[in-house]
Amino acid sequence: MFFQRLKLRSQSILPVLLVALLAPLAHMSVWAQEANGSYEEMGEEKASPGSLPPQELSAKVFYQILLAEIAGQRDRLNLAVNTYLDLARTTKDPRVSQRATEVALFAQNPKAALEASRLWATQDPESDRARQTLSGLLVGEGKLSEARPYLEKMLAKAGMQAGSLFMNLHSLLSRQQDKKGVLDLVETLAKPFAQLPEAQYAIALAAMDADKTERAKTALQQADQNKPGWEPGALLQAQMLQSTKTPQAVILFYRNFLEKYPNSQQVRLMYARLLVDQKIYETAREQFELILKNAPGNPEMSLAVGLLSMELKDFVTAEKHMKNVLALGYRDPDMPRYYLGQIFEERQEWAAAMEWYTKVESGDQFVPARMRVAAILSKQNRLQEARDLLHSLPADTEQQKTLLIQADAQLLSESKQYQGAYDALTEGLAKLPKSIDLLYDRAMVADKLNRLDLLESDLRKLIALKPDHAHAYNALGYSLADRTNRYSEALELIQKAAALAPDDPFIMDSLGWVQYRLNKLTESAQTLKRAFDRQPDPEIAAHLGEVMWKQGREDEAIKFLKVNLTAHPDSEALRDVVQRYHH
């Protein structure tokens, strides 16, 4: 229905028509009574008494109102708009003009809405809503100079309480193409309010959009003088720094600001989030703990501290905070339950881990939680029980089906039942033949079976389906470099992977390895060193140690390999290289 969809603040005029039908001689004052009563109930602005023209509800006016309302109900929006606009011109009644504006806006007819809102603002010059609507429409049409007097009047009426209007100016003006014109307008509007930090904030935003960085800085400095420690200004200054400086410069800014204003919760929160982004977890946790100290009943902050504690392997603190998240009535209790399962699994407390995972009852964590239970069962040599659990889980989407097939194959692979894993993935691909993930996993299992032909076939199918899959190029290139003498082909594949994901340390490792195979030892050592610095993985360490040995750096190589073997005693790759070169 038209009026159910048209979310207007005023009531439909149809109840007034019922009054008119019962009392044909009723005047517009009856309409005013009815309509204004509804505004009062809804907390709406009344039309100014002096702006309501005395007039009779004539047959023509009655007909036009009825026609417009019925046209609206029947989705003939152009007829409704044109009828109300004509009525607004002839009656000069601000309530009719308001209705015409609202209907035109709903019909997405900006030209008619602009004309109607001009009538409305003229007929009721004291109406804040009329001025707001008209100024918004004028700005939307790019008529900034015409909008200015209406905006000035709104700000003047608000006086020193105009801060919220200045804070909302950017959303009103941000779509304008003439950024310099917007800055000029905002500076003009802000002149009488130079002592308001919000006015300086509005200037800074407009200056940033106009690429006037120095003007933005000056405005923010003025805002800080007007109200030292004002958080919105500080956050905007940090945003400016983030676009031009390094993350370390922003971190330093936040730290200095918080030393002066330690109670600035919003700034501290943004500081903590930036620290997480930069993987400075210990300091980030300290900041979240300070926020939590000032807001002890906030489950979001407790969750953040718990997650950071998990990242730092501080499982005792993590457990405490995750249980606190539950006690505080977090909106999604299955999330902390899942994390508690992870905490106990990391501590190898299998029974407690399974208990928490089993408490996950629904939502996004339900299937992953049951998959973790299956993984724990497999660790306890209960492989068939684990697989039965996986096979019993619901899978409504293709993604869920894929995850369960992958989990089943992983259990078999971890139990060194590689043929079984290959068969499980083959069965899954019969149902989902274009699954990128299943093709990749089957190729990796084929590698375990020493079936390079199957690996190459699956990876080439995958590349045909998804030509930008960096890891498919990398896996195929590395396998060819490691197991064949097709080095030029391998190099081409790995270079393609590196172009798609230039910062991936495992692709760097493959590149270093094929360079080694091509006897480019200096390049290989440099590439592998970059990869290891990014990701100190034991297999990368094994490759780098082998290249160092071939370069004649035997003592350095053995020392490097032994240090890494101590850190990763279960690494077959490291153990194999040490045994080959250290007698």
Instruction: Give the per-residue pLDDT at 550.
Output: 94
Q: Residue 477 gets which letter from DSSP?
A: H
27 forms beta bridges with 56
Q: How far apart are CA 357 and CA 360, in angstroms?
A: 6
**CB atoms < 10 A from the CB of 538, how many?**
19
Q: What values do phi and psi take at 56, rounded to 5? A: -90, 145
pLDDT at 503: 92
> What pTM does this model have?
0.72
Residue 49 has what pLDDT?
Answer: 53
Single-letter code of the amino acid located at 439: L
Residue with tokens 């700005």: 139
Q: Which pLDDT does position 546 carry in this prediction? A: 94
| Domain spans, the chain | 1-147, 332-385, 395-467
What are 480's two structure tokens?
A: 């060819």
The domains spanning 1-147 and 395-467 adopt the same CATH topology = yes
Phi, psi of 204 (to 5 degrees): -60, -45
Instruction: Check if CATH label 1.25.40.10 holds for domain 395-467.
Output: yes
- Report pLDDT for 146: 86
Selection from 33, 31, 51 nearest residue 41 by Cα = 33
440 Cβ partners below 8 Å, 6+ apart? Answer: 458, 459, 462, 469, 471, 472, 475
pLDDT in tens, 191-208: 999 999 999 999 999 999
Give me the pLDDT at residue 53, please: 65
CB 99 within 8 A of CB 51: no
Query: 443: which 2 tokens?
Result: 């190729």
Given a cut of 70, the residues of the chain with pLDDT beneath it are 1-57, 582-583
CATH, domain 1-147, list 1.10.10.10, 3.40.190.10, 3.50.50.60, 1.25.40.10: 1.25.40.10
Residue 384: half-sphere exposure toward Cβ, Cα within 13 Å: 0
Asked whether 462 and 443 are in contact (CB, 8 A), the reply is yes
pLDDT of residue 60: 79
Q: Are 72 and 6 in contact (CB under 8 A)?
A: yes
